[in-house]
Amino acid sequence: MQIMFKNDLFLRALNGETVERPPVWMMRQAGRYLPDFMKLKEKYDFFTRCQTPELATEITVMPIHQVGTDAAILFSDILVIPQAMQIEVEMRPGIGPWLPNPIRNKKAVDQVVIPDVYEELNYVFEAIKMTKKELNNEVPLIGFAGSPWTILCYCVQGQGSKNFDKAKEFCFTQPELAHQLLQKITDTTIAYLKAKVEAGVDAVQVFDSWGGMLSPTDYQLFSWKYMQQIIDALKDEIPVIAFGKGCWFALDTMAKSGAAALGVDWTCSAKNARYLTGGNITLQGNFDPSRLFSRPAEITKMVHQMIDEFGKDKYIVNLGHGILPNIPVENAKAFVDAVKSYKS
């Protein structure tokens, strides 16, 4: 059954259709920089917001009404997956993700379960149904997951890191265990994303936030082959966006994967991204999130230039990573409005 959206630009661009202007949304648009989100943050801790469908819905819909993006992305977190796999995850103020029992040996890997996602993550699917109702076909809804490699980074390192040295050491000294853990995460992620599709999301994005930590050879070995499994499992059901931060070196491989679109970060030019992907796949990105500190007039000029460089078709305007917490709302709005005012 084809849903008729009041605004279907995002899905048309994913599909490679000719559009009057490219669609726009922002990674991490639901939260952090919005004053209304900050009020909820003061009242409820992070995982309470993720696990309460009413709150997740309210946060997801906020940027649609306040900033005017062409797609919504469900408010959630990539670390709900390890939580569902019985790995303890906390969100500590000033530190971020904190896993008190990092996985670094055979016993720990053996204890990791592949859960029943309907049982452990039902709150996410409820939030999707509620959000779909709230959006009332205004714009499409994106569901997401972290890449298996990115999830492994947190599970082994135990927290965020500049270089994920412990995660890499684990992979390079105990590769069999690393692949076992990656496969468990992959199987869980596929089940999770399929259940999201059932619940009603219109597209999914896989975030490989730490893919750029690996060399091109190790990337294929420890990250991309698991991303490919996820794409293969979902591509016939729903458009999949693959986003690897710092992974420009893998764009040619990614372009042949069956993904509907590829995210690009700000370290890769539009020209290079088009060249490396063969020019036939929809690209998404790649405005430097810190550039949203620039004056609105400058943001407008830079966004128009970015669209000229990527071309208006087979293109989704986005940031090259998540929006920063201290960006003024009017600057985020200037970014979105710049796309809406674009004339080719």
Which phi and psi (to 5°) does residue 62 adopt? Answer: -45, -55
Q: How do strand 90-92 and strand 96-98 relate by DSSP bridges?
A: antiparallel
Half-sphere exposure for 203 (CA within 13 Å, toward CB): 25
| Cα 262 from Cα 320, distance rounded (Å) | 11
Half-sphere exposure for 82 (CA within 13 Å, toward CB): 32
| Cα 52 from Cα 126, distance rounded (Å) | 9
Residues forming the annotated binding site for substrate?
28-32, 47, 77, 154, 209, 321
Structural domains of the chain, with CATH = 9-289+313-321 (3.20.20.210)
Beta bridge partners of 73: 142
Q: What SS3 state is found at 96? A: strand
Q: How do strand 72-73 and strand 240-244 relate by DSSP bridges?
A: unpaired
Residues forming the annotated binding site?
28-32, 47, 77, 154, 209, 321
Confidence (pTM): 0.97
Torsion angle defined by CA atoms of residues 195, 255, 3 and 343, in that order, rounded to the nearest 10 degrees:
140
Q: What is the pLDDT of residue 35?
A: 94
269 and 234 in contact (C-beta within 8 Å)?
no
Which phi and psi (to 5°) does residue 180 adopt? Answer: -60, -45
| Cα 65 from Cα 246, distance rounded (Å) | 32
Enumerate the H helices of the chain as residue ranges.
Answer: 9-14, 35-43, 46-51, 53-66, 80-84, 106-111, 117-120, 122-135, 148-157, 165-173, 175-199, 216-219, 225-234, 251-255, 270-276, 296-310, 329-340
Per-residue pLDDT of the chain in tens (344 residues, 90 and over written 9)? 567 999 999 999 999 999 999 999 999 999 889 999 999 999 999 999 999 999 999 999 999 999 999 999 999 999 999 999 999 999 998 899 999 999 999 999 999 999 999 999 999 999 999 999 999 999 999 999 999 999 999 999 999 999 999 999 999 999 999 999 999 999 999 999 999 999 999 999 999 999 999 999 999 999 999 999 999 999 999 999 999 999 999 999 999 999 999 999 999 999 999 999 999 999 999 999 999 999 999 999 999 999 999 999 999 999 999 999 999 999 999 999 999 999 97
State the amino acid at position 124 in one-letter form.
V
| Cα 282 from Cα 105, distance rounded (Å) | 40
| Cα 129 from Cα 142, distance rounded (Å) | 12
CB neighbour burial string for 95-119, b if at least 16 within 10 angstroms, e if fewer: eebebeebbbeeebbeebeebebee
| Cα 171 from Cα 176, distance rounded (Å) | 8
